[in-house]
């Protein structure tokens, strides 16, 4: 018999895991339901019946979650934690929105105490919404990266983040240079990458705010550290795409501004990617770069409609993200609801199994963390949430009519918020 350790915990409820992709064939067939999951030393040990788990770990602590849905914590593949305090700013489109609201707020992150305050606030808000892992932009200030990794480390979370690099088309005080962007990024990467559950992501903001020299320097840094993720923005709004064409007259298309400078790769995360030309789609698919869908942002800033089903069907890797604070919510439930609505507007009603997969396994795979986070599978890190599927009177009365799991969970996807998040475990440790 396996020795019992003090850290063994059995969670009981409806345990949801994925054994395949719900975008290959019948979506429901990709999912599996169990009665219980055993957590040992911060990792998923096994799932099965309650009796099986108790036999495997007779001395384990039992945590009964009733009929809550127990699943992997949400993975948010594209956020800007420094935009926490200006989320939901009214009335602008992308470039105006950056200049009017985003850049003035990001200017404040040279102050280490302010950065620490917002980093902690952001991680607490997102944990309360069931998000256990995420990939964040910081600001140009190294202090903003220090603050974020320090706050995530204190909470034991697996996060990805990097210093946002910008050396043009941003205000005085919010610009680095090609050289200082490279140097500061390299120093931060050396200090934080691979420490505990923290990973550095090389972060040129987007082509309009970097000179070709800066993109080249970021490409060189990535070539020196190919195990790092690289995150940026791509083809979010039509006037942005036109601007990029005028700034980079030699480029074949927007993606080529990255490709020509060593910034196209399988570990690349390309936020938004709405207005892709055929060549861009072909190259992204060939290389295996990830498209990160940010649905609440795309409606809020008026960017446009990303066709999730079409992109996945053509073989792209797609993750899901809030894009806080261009996105209008910290909640991945709200984000799945927006993805569903955009799916309806682009011709596909995404199945609840597909939405939950995008918010967990799909996003984890874009971060090259499949099998590590985002699923309840043996050996994975035990970042887990318990969802109350009847968290408000409106949801409860709809839930009462449900004939199967998917009908039971869909009202929470569409109408749920942080009240649906009953408990969150990070590496097996309860957080709420």
Binding site for ligand GUN (CB under 6 A): 80, 94, 98, 102, 205-206, 233, 236, 297, 301, 323, 326
CB-nearer residue toward ligand GUN: 139 or 377 = 139
Minimum CB separation of residue 145 from Zn ion in Å reads 16
CB-nearer residue toward Zn ion: 366 or 375 = 366
Round to whole Å and give the CA distance between 405 and 29: 12
Minimum CB separation of residue 162 from Zn ion in Å reads 13
Minimum CB separation of residue 294 from ligand GUN in Å reads 7
Round to whole Å and give the CA distance between 273 and 251: 17
Minimum CB separation of residue 204 from ligand GUN in Å reads 10
Residue 236 contact partner, candidates ligand GUN, Zn ion, none, CB within 5 to 8 A by sort of partner:
ligand GUN
3-state DSSP of 14-75: EEEEECCCCCCCCHHHHEEEEEEEEEECCEEEEEECHHHHHHHCCCCEEEEEEEEEEEECEE
Minimum CB separation of residue 241 from Zn ion in Å reads 16
- How is the chain split among helix, strand and coil, in percent rounded to 5? 45, 25, 35
Residue with tokens 């682009």: 346
CB-nearer residue toward ligand GUN: 80 or 158 = 80
Residue with tokens 């090609």: 178
Residue 297 contact partner, candidates ligand GUN, Zn ion, none, CB within 5 to 8 A by sort of partner:
ligand GUN
CB-nearer residue toward Zn ion: 258 or 425 = 258
Residue 102 contact partner, candidates Zn ion, ligand GUN, none, CB within 5 to 8 A by sort of partner:
ligand GUN
- In Å, the largest CA–CA distance within the chain is 68
Could you tell me which residues are beta bridge partners of residue 22? none
CB-nearer residue toward ligand GUN: 80 or 422 = 80
Burial (CB count <10 Å: 0-12, 13-18, 19+), residue 209: buried
Among residue numbers 256 through 295, which ones bind Zn ion (CB under 5 A)? 271
Q: Which letter does DSSP use for residue 360 in this model?
A: I
Residue 253 contact partner, candidates Zn ion, ligand GUN, none, CB within 5 to 8 A by sort of partner:
none
Which residues, at least 6 apart from 324, have a Cβ–Cβ distance to it below 8 Å? 79, 80, 81, 83, 84, 87, 122, 330
Binding string, residues 320-339; x marks residues near Zn ion by CB under 5 A: ---x----------------
CB-nearer residue toward ligand GUN: 146 or 236 = 236
Token pair in block for residue 9: 């915990």
CB-nearer residue toward Zn ion: 138 or 380 = 138
> Nearest CA to 39 among 385, 417, 419, 354?
385
Minimum CB separation of residue 227 from ligand GUN in Å reads 25
Cα–Cα distance list, 46 to 36, 40, 356 (Å): 9, 9, 21
Minimum CB separation of residue 79 from Zn ion in Å reads 8
Contact residues for Zn ion (CB under 5 A)?
271, 323
């Amino acid at each position: 018999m396996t020795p019992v350790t003090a850290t063994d915990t059995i969670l009981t409820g409806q345990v949801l895991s994925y054994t395949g992709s719900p975008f290959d064939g019948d979506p429901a067939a990709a999912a599996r339901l169990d009665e219980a999951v055993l957590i040992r030393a911060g990792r998923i040990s096994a799932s099965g019946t309650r009796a099986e788990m108790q036999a495997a770990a007779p001395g384990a602590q039992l945590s009964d979650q009733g009929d809550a849905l127990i699943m992997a914590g949400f993975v948010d593949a594209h956020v800007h934690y420094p935009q926490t305090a200006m989320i939901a700013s009214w009335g602008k489109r992308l470039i105006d929105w950056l200049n009017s609201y985003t850049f003035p707020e990001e200017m404040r992150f040279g102050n280490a105490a302010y950065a620490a305050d917002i980093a902690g606030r952001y991680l607490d808000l997102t944990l309360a919404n069931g998000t256990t892992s995420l990939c964040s932009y910081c600001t140009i200030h190294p202090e903003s990266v220090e603050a974020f990794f320090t706050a995530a480390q204190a909470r034991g979370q697996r996060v990805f983040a990097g210093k946002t690099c910008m050396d043009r088309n941003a205000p005085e005080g919010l610009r680095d240079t090609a050289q200082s962007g490279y140097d500061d990024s390299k120093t931060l990467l050396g200090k934080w990458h691979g420490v505990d559950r923290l990973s550095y992501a090389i972060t040129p903001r987007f082509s309009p705010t970097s000179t070709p020299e800066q993109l080249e320097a970021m490409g060189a840094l990535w070539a020196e550290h190919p195990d790092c993720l690289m995150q940026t923005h791509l083809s979010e709004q039509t006037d942005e795409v036109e601007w990029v064409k005028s700034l980079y007259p030699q480029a074949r298309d927007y993606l080529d501004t990255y490709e020509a400078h060593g910034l196209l790769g399988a570990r690349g995360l390309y936020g938004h990617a709405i207005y892709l030309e055929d060549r861009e789609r072909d190259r992204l698919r060939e290389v295996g770069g990830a498209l990160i869908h940010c649905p609440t942002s795309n409606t809020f800033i008026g960017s446009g409609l990303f066709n999730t089903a079409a992109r996945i069907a053509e073989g792209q890797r797609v993750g899901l993200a809030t894009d806080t604070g261009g996105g209008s919510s910290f909640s991945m439930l709200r984000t799945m609801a927006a993805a569903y609505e955009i799916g309806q507007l682009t011709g596909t009603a995404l199945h609840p199994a597909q939405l939950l997969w995008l918010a967990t396994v799909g996003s984890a795979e874009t971060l090259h963390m499949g099998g590590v986070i985002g699923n309840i599978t043996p050996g994975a890190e035990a970042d887990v949430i318990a969802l109350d599927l009847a968290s408000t009177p409106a949801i409860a009365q709809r839930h009462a009519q449900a004939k199967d799991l998917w009908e039971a969970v869909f009202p929470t996807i569409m109408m749920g918020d942080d009240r649906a998040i009953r408990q969150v475990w990070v590496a097996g440790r309860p957080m709420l």
